Structure 1
Amino acid sequence: MPSAFRQTTIRPWLDIRCRMIRAIRHFFEEAGYLEMETPIRIPAPAPETHIDCFASESWFLHASPELCMKRMLAAGYERIFQICRVLRKGERGARHLPEFTLLEWYTAGQDYRHMMAQCEALILSVAETLFAGASLNYQGRVIDLSPPWDRLTVGEAFVRHTPVTMEAALAEGRFDEWMGFSIEPNLGWERPVFLCDYPAACGSLARKSPSNPDVVERFELYIAGVELCNAFSELCDPAEQRRRFLEEQAARLRLGKTVYPMPESFLNALSAMPPATGNALGIDRLAMLLADRTTIDDVSAFVPEEA
């Protein structure tokens, strides 16, 4: 007789998820990283235009531990990581939950190029721990995880996968549309792809490229058309960061969204933060790929509809 509980049927995939998290912790501990715990409830999130937070009285439930972890960098912690639950309003779909699990880590004295290499090492290490090999079987296709992985700039991706340039897409207000429907589904089916060097307007906390101020040193990792992480060389200039946050607040106001207060504690600490690179990786999505599942529900013990 079939089980009455969805949780019973997904046991094999939750087992993979558990072993994956154990392997991730081992990777960072072996590399000398300190595991962090930072508050879930904060007075002010980063005021990013397209990320909406849940209110908690006059404070907010964090959408990312980013601001607190960067304050730890400013306090002298050079290698830190965290695996935590985060919350974002309006996110529900085959790859989205309003409450999900994020791996976030930071390394002082390095940039996004170092972070790409570390991403390769992390995911390869996890795959080898779980499957004893340097490949991933997903939806009937074999994805080669042997480094180095492909690097593709956003500008190159628009030339390769769309009839418009990156600049034209931005000017027409269709950048996200082209990305979501034409570019992202085609990335990472033979081997993982780092999509890098985003336009400056698409990275409010990222450092601009010294060689091209029109782009920021940001990348996202794609495997089998799935966006796994968002990373960048960190912006350490408090005046520039405040200016960008003001622009984000103005954009939220124009869209009729809640305008979040300025995160003053973070901005006050930013001048003491060293050059660094950081990354936020979706634990649930990585578990989907490793378990060969197409929906996030299959690797999640509970989903909102079961509350």
Structure 2
Amino acid sequence: MSLTSAKASPWWTPDVHADRRPFLIGRNAIQAALRLYFAGEDFVEVDTAALQVSPGNEAHLHAFATEALTTDGQPALFYLHTSPEFACKKLLSAGEQRIACFAHVYRNRERGPLHHPEFTMLEWYRAGESYETLMMDCVRIAALAAETAKASKLMYRGAEADPFAGPERISVAEAFDCYAGIDLLGSVAADGSTDREHLAAELRRNGLRVAEDDGWADLFSRALVEKIEPHLGFGRITILDEYPVSEAALARPSGRDPRVAERFEVYACGVELANGFGELTNAAEQRRRFEIEMAEKARIYGERYPLDEDFLEALQIMPEASGIALGFDRLVMLATGASRIDQVLWAPVAEYGR
């Protein structure tokens, strides 16, 4: 067999496993340390079902579908969840105050050094507490992960971030102005509606590609990926805050500026680690936003997912809360120095396709 056609040894061969094992032992230690952290903060750890009537309703998230059969053989469509969010919010509606969840989640069309079709999402929710509290949770958790791994820095492919230093906090609008020279909020009205032509002109002026069929969200994402994210989380953790409301379907509008929402993301070494919200609790508004997201999904991908009517009903009695989803495997990667997500997964999903 030629060198070019040779296949890499599978993860279960002893030599490959020996190389991966330090990362995996580090994973276990970090998970144990985080469980102690949440217990010390009076959180209850919950375990949610992966099978759901809706996998989530974000336009660019892709789910795995499956067919359930009733006892008399009748089919019913279910999905593997892309996040435990809907179930966790139902538990807040039921009366839980602080909950945390290590959930295996499933996302289709995702595979690469930082992506895997099945991975672990760490989510936690605080009823009656601000989303700024979650930011501080994230900073403490990143430091705890590094400390547990006996690392002084978070690292990814030569990049470093000091988790013990104070984080940088910058709004999305400030980042667009600073790193791309784009007036982002000039294309967002007070009611949250967006002006595609204004943003397209801003991108063209700064040398970014604009296609005829690009919507405002496409343009926003292109500028974010190409101009903003390459600057985030280097040297120290970055908290990117106040996303436009149209890019925060599950977050409530900011009391400071109705054009933006209480949504933030956490970056380290250029890697997105977490996505947090001040949670939207208006069921009618949530339905409206989900319908917009699913219309966009249908436009781009030719499919849509059902709404979880149970979730929308529960939202009517859900208390004010903040919640966050953190990619646990990515955190382990950065704390242990792994370069690929499959190095920190005990049993990766088999390769498929090309």
CA contact 1:137–1:143 (8 Å) conserved in 2: yes
1:61 aligns to what? 80
How far apart are residue 118 of structure 1 and its match?
1.5
Aligned residues: 305
TM-score between both structures, scaled by the size of structure 1: 0.93
1:255-270 to 2 correspondence within 5 Å?
255-270=300-315
CA contact 2:283–2:312 (8 Å) conserved in 1: yes
Distance of 1:293 and 1:161 partners within structure 2 = 29
TM-score between both structures, scaled by the size of structure 2: 0.81
How far apart are residue 245 of structure 1 and its match?
1.0
Q: Give the direction of change, closer, same or farther, for the CA distance of 1:172–1:77 in structure 2 (3 Å limit).
A: closer
Q: Give the direction of change, closer, same or farther, for the CA distance of 1:236–1:291 in structure 2 (3 Å limit).
A: same
Distance of 1:300 and 1:213 partners within structure 2 = 41
Q: Give the direction of change, closer, same or farther, for the CA distance of 1:172–1:49 in structure 2 (3 Å limit).
A: closer
Unaligned runs of 5+ in 1: none
SS in 1 for 2:218: coil
Q: Which amino acid counterpart does residue 254 of structure 2 have in structure 1?
A: S
1:82 paired to 2:127: no
1:34 paired to 2:44: yes
Distance of 2:91 and 2:286 partners within structure 1 = 18
Q: Which amino acid counterpart does residue 301 of structure 1 have in structure 2?
A: W
**Bigger proportion of residues as strand:** 1
From 140, 156, 178, the equivalent of 2:174 is 156
CA contact 1:111–1:232 (8 Å) conserved in 2: no
Distance of 1:180 and 1:110 partners within structure 2 = 31
CA contact 2:56–2:81 (8 Å) conserved in 1: no
Which region of structure 1 is more displaced relative to structure 2, 110-119 or 77-86?
Answer: 110-119
How far apart are residue 286 of structure 1 and its match?
0.5
From 252, 261, 272, the equivalent of 1:216 is 261
2:327 aligns to what? 282
How far apart are residue 248 of structure 1 and its match?
1.3
SS in 1 for 2:140: helix
1:122 aligns to what? 141
Unaligned runs of 5+ in 2: 1-8, 68-76, 188-198, 204-214
1:111 paired to 2:130: yes
CA contact 2:245–2:253 (8 Å) conserved in 1: yes
CA contact 1:7–1:301 (8 Å) conserved in 2: no
CA contact 2:154–2:268 (8 Å) conserved in 1: no
How far apart are residue 254 of structure 1 and its match?
1.5
Q: Which amino acid counterpart does residue 154 of structure 1 have in structure 2?
A: V
Distance of 1:112 and 1:225 partners within structure 2 = 22
1:206 aligns to what? 251
Q: Which amino acid counterpart does residue 325 of structure 2 have in structure 1?
A: A
Q: Give the direction of change, closer, same or farther, for the CA distance of 1:156–1:269 in structure 2 (3 Å limit).
A: same
SS in 2 for 1:212: coil
Q: Give the direction of change, closer, same or farther, for the CA distance of 1:178–1:141 in structure 2 (3 Å limit).
A: closer
CA contact 2:165–2:236 (8 Å) conserved in 1: no
Residue by residue over 1:130-175, the C-alpha shift from the partner in whole angstroms, topping out at 9 and shown as x without a partner, is: 3276x43555565322353110111111112114333425748321
1:193 aligns to what? 238
Distance of 1:29 and 1:255 partners within structure 2 = 43
How far apart are residue 70 of structure 1 and its match?
0.1
From 107, 112, 121, the equivalent of 1:93 is 112
2:163 aligns to what? 145
From 292, 297, 302, the equivalent of 2:342 is 297
Distance of 2:275 and 2:217 partners within structure 1 = 24
Calculate the aligned-residue CA RMSD, in Å: 2.0
How far apart are residue 301 of structure 1 and its match?
2.5
How far apart are residue 257 of structure 1 and its match?
3.3
CA contact 1:185–1:224 (8 Å) conserved in 2: no
1:234 paired to 2:295: no
SS in 2 for 1:294: coil
Q: Give the direction of change, closer, same or farther, for the CA distance of 1:157–1:71 in structure 2 (3 Å limit).
A: same
Residue by residue over 1:171-196, the C-alpha shift from the partner in whole angstroms, topping out at 9 and shown as x without a partner, is: 48321122122211221111100001
Q: Give the direction of change, closer, same or farther, for the CA distance of 1:87–1:172 in structure 2 (3 Å limit).
A: closer
2:183 aligns to what? 165
Residue by residue over 1:234-260, the C-alpha shift from the partner in whole angstroms, topping out at 9 and shown as x without a partner, is: 000111111111111211222243211
**Identity rate, percent:** 39
